Chain A
């Protein structure tokens, strides 16, 4: 395997670190970084979800054990994090697609805040569903 040149590796590390550093960044970059961070989180969740669903093959008792674990407070908090990730990624992605097709280009910042407000409202509703039921 060819070693990665030091400059290239440093550039990659800097690019990754920049996603978590909103200082001095415009709204466009923050939206971009949010999309990437939530996207990677959702890819990890997809793999985890597949692993969890595989327990179904082990029969009813294995599934019941998982369901009991999934209803623990720590897992409900994890579910909230997941819902936040889905809402931010989904609604911001929808905005990016619409703006990318040439609609609402001049209003893209307002559009971003509308989507984030909608995410927040749906997040509160989902949280209420999660904890009240």
Chain B
């Protein structure tokens, strides 16, 4: 196997690896706190609201959404690039995925803000 350094593969590879490692921690925390320690695996309506009203949890969930959305969109872009897109196709894919990622983040922020103000 030929050894390549991250710098030779482009900056997005190292960011994808870093966000991936961060996601293991954030998703692990999310799964434990939201599902595994909760009786029945899912919080009740009021429990979800109370849980999100904790500022530390709110910040962690917001960071989780940002990181997971970035990681997902860059991952999909890598798959599309590997399918042999030409330069124009790559530009279009990047634009569409950037917009989709921004919409997901806005949607998540709206949800978090509405739920914490309920």
Contacts and interface: CB of A to CB of B under 8 A. Distances in A.
Interface of A: 8, 11-12, 15-16, 36, 39-40, 42-43, 46-47, 50, 53-54, 56-57, 59-60, 63-64, 67, 70-71, 86, 90, 93-94, 96-97, 100-102, 105, 108, 129-130, 133
Interface of B: 1, 3-6, 9, 13, 17, 20-21, 23-24, 27, 36, 39-42, 44-46, 48-49, 68-69, 72, 75-76, 79, 82-84, 86, 104, 107-108, 111, 114-115
A93 B20 contact: yes
A40 B76 contact: yes
Contacts of A97: 17, 20-21
A39 B107 contact: no
Given A8-B84, A70-B42, A94-B24, A56 B75 contact: no
Given A67-B42, A101-B6, A90 B27 contact: yes
Contacts, number: 87
Nearest to A44: B72
Contact of A102 (B5, B17, B24, B104): B5
Contacts of A108: 1
B84 A11 contact: yes
Contacts of A15: 82-84
Contact of B111 (A50, A59, A86, A90): A50
B13 A54 contact: no
A130 B72 contact: no
